[in-house]
Amino acid sequence: MSKANNGGAGSGKKPATVTRKTFDEVLVPTYAPSEVVPVRGSGLDVWDQRGTRYLDFTAGIAVTGLGHAHPELADALCAQARTLWHVSNIYTNEPVLRLGIAMTQATFADRAFFCNSGAEANEAAFKLVRRYASTKFGAKKSRIVSCLNSFHGRTLFTVSVGGQPKYSEGFGPLPEDIIHIPFNDIAAARAAITDDVCGVVVEPVQGEGGVIPATKEYLQALRDICNEKKALLIFDEIQSGMGRTGNLFAYMEYGVVPDILTSAKALGNGYPIGAMLTTNEVASVFTAGVHGTTYGGNPLAATVGLKVMEIINTPEFLSRVRHAGEQLQRMLKGLIAEFPQVFSEVRGKGLLIGLVMAKKYLGKSKDITALAEKEGLMLLIAGMDVVRFVPALIVSDKQIEEAGQMLRRAAAAFVKANP
């Protein structure tokens, strides 16, 4: 049954006033968003519908690495929007070619595949490792090894590869030949990566799983075992990449080179874009028609991605990220000293930092972020035991200090509510 026209496009009526309640009325309830409805942002500052200002240490879940409404990105996007939006992949376009050059010149890779999200980048990577193994070694080499508590996206394939069953429950039957092993456990990796494994995927820093960095020994062991078993090694750098850890990509700090790397999030600073980077040898099995995307590598997204690359990938910018990360960790360690009954540990790299709840308050990280929001500080969680800090990479020392003051007030309120 069709509905009457209630003021939509072409009705002649003004758009309806929208509030947080509108979400519950018209959107599929896949999320439970905050009552705060942001309407404007600049740098790390965000204002809601009431005009209340917040300090944003979420960066849209590590996406707006250069902050909100970055003027150079806005100018580049607007200029391209007046020139050419979309041509499909029947044709290529200049912005995507320039972005491909920039990303391959800056990394180990020879080839780039562009899509619209991190999930799509990982989907392409997982298809590629199976295609490569099937082409080179036969259909029996199809198993994918991933880590427990990993997160690789929300498509059926990527959610199955991700090591968190809560995201795949109720969606069966799931893709097969996927196994999960403990993170940072070399012995488990040696036992699991057998001759039938086509690919191993790992986050150099587990993000959703609790902000846990891999050890260099673990990543090097994965590289060595993959070489021995003729399996491809995938680094999921969707959250850890694009300057987040103080290098363009985290693998550069570790000195361990993957066969495939996936990127998204901060690559577009909020404009949807994902990338899969690989070598000539591996890319050769993705011939015309084997995989594709309608919007991937469109001129708008590629223009933004190229400008992001130009800004972030300089020694000065990345040095500043490392400094800011040190300042943030110092502030959080001071908070632990002040509230040892609430917080136990700081971990992470660069500006991807986790603050772990003390044993007494495990499962309460969301309580801290809710209280911080009341103080004007926007934060994330990484599981129910960890408060996650991923501010824009342009965060200043002054803003880190301000965040610390807000967080202290939130911690004091938490102690009062949880004696």
- pLDDT score, position 404: 98
Q: Using an 8 Å Cβ cutoff, are 218 and 77 in contact?
A: no
Burial of 15 (0-12, 13-18, 19+ CB in 10 A): exposed
Can you list the alpha helix ranges (DSSP code H) found in 32-87? 59-62, 71-81
Helix (H, G, I), strand (E, B), or coil: what is residue 226?
helix
Please state, as a whole number, how many other Cβ atoms lie within 10 Å of the Cβ of residue 311.
Answer: 18
For residues 318 and 250, what is the distance between their CA atoms, to the nearest angstrom? 12
- pLDDT score, position 11: 54
Please state, as a whole number, how many other Cβ atoms lie within 10 Å of the Cβ of residue 193.
Answer: 23
- pLDDT score, position 305: 98
- pLDDT score, position 1: 40
pTM, whole model, 2 decimals? 0.94
For residues 97 and 322, what is the distance between their CA atoms, to the nearest angstrom? 30
Strands of 192-231, DSSP E: 197-202, 205-206, 212-213
Residue 238's nearest CA partner among 388, 122, 104 is 122
Query: Can you say whether residue 350 is alpha, beta or left, with left for phi > 0 and alpha for psi between -120 and 50 degrees?
Result: left
Strands of 17-63, DSSP E: 38-42, 45-48, 53-56
* Strand partners of residue 181: 147
Structurally, what CATH architecture does the domain formed by 72-312 represent?
Answer: 3-Layer(aba) Sandwich (3.40)
- pLDDT score, position 392: 98
Q: What's the length of the chain? A: 419
Fold of 26-69+318-417: Aspartate Aminotransferase, domain 1 (3.90.1150)
Q: Using an 8 Å Cβ cutoff, are 275 and 102 in contact?
A: no
Q: What is the DSSP letter of 131?
A: H
Phi, psi of 155 (to 5 degrees): -70, 165
Can you list the alpha helix ranges (DSSP code H) found in 57-185? 59-62, 71-81, 94-106, 118-137, 156-161
Q: Using an 8 Å Cβ cutoff, are 390 and 352 in contact?
A: yes
* Strand partners of residue 300: none
Residues of the chain with CATH 3.90.1150.10: 26-69+318-417
- pLDDT score, position 2: 47
Residue at 359: amino acid letter? K
Query: Six-digit token pair at 384?
Result: 């129910």
- pLDDT tens for the chain, 419 residues: list them: 445 445 444 555 667 899 999 999 999 999 999 999 999 999 999 999 999 999 999 999 999 999 999 999 999 999 999 999 999 999 999 999 999 999 999 999 999 999 999 999 999 999 999 999 999 999 999 999 999 999 999 999 999 999 888 888 888 888 899 999 999 999 999 999 999 999 999 999 999 999 999 999 999 999 999 999 999 999 999 999 999 999 999 999 999 999 999 999 999 999 999 999 999 999 999 999 999 999 999 999 999 999 999 999 999 999 999 999 999 999 999 999 999 999 999 999 999 999 999 999 999 999 999 999 999 999 999 999 999 999 999 999 999 999 999 999 999 999 999 98
Helix (H) or strand (E) holding 408: helix 397-417
- pLDDT score, position 123: 97
Cα distances (angstroms) measured from residue 81 to each of 68, 76, 269, 300: 19, 9, 17, 7
Residues of the chain with CATH 3.40.640.10: 72-312
Residue at 334: amino acid letter? G
